[in-house]
Structure 1
């Protein structure tokens, strides 16, 4: 099995672009978005938690969809990837 490696700066930018496209089309939803943002930045759950002042368990629960993160936490997560938290129209 290949060993995981941190993405390059170019890969992070490409990940950001792809996620932004998905967000614009309404195809980016919690909790999968949090997983993709974290992975897109090349961070482990521990590293991501430290940046957000959370525990690794809290990050794992958010990613699993079993947590109810505060608006403040969602804003912090979004800010890391250049996103804002807001309402989007529901797909018909």
Structure 2
């Protein structure tokens, strides 16, 4: 297994940037999985599939945005990256509203 020697801060920075790209619609879930598997963890498809307990073919299909996997399998694949599958609005304007910082209600 070839792993990258990124610091925890560097891994977090790459994770945040890649997740921002996903939310912005620049990359797909499969692109995100592949990017983080390779660039953050430095693992091959075989090694990563073994780590998460799915077949390499299933992982390949997920990274290629092909196939039809269950929510359980998707969460299993994203768990080592510190991510879980969730619902997001498809409409950019609604997504933007969801992502806005909530007003601070602690002011007196």
Give TM-score scaled by structure 2 length. Answer: 0.65
* Ranges in structure 2 where 5+ consecutive residues have no aligned partner: 94-108
Alignment length (residue pairs): 88
1:8 and 2:5 matched: yes
Please give the secondary structure, in 2, of the residue aligned with 1:48.
helix
1:50-90 CA-partner distances (Å, limit 9, x unpaired): 01111212211221222212101111122222222111122
Instruction: Compute the RMSD of aligned alpha carbons.
Output: 2.2
In 2, Cα distance between the equivalents of 1:48 and 1:71? 18
* Ranges in structure 1 where 5+ consecutive residues have no aligned partner: none
Find the counterpart in structure 1 of residue 97 from structure 2: none
Deviation of the 1:24 alpha carbon: 4.8
1:1-40 alignment runs, 5 A limit: 6-10=3-7, 11-25=10-24, 27-39=26-38, 40=40
Q: Which has the higher contact order (CA 8 A, sep 6+)?
A: 1
- Higher-Rg structure is 2
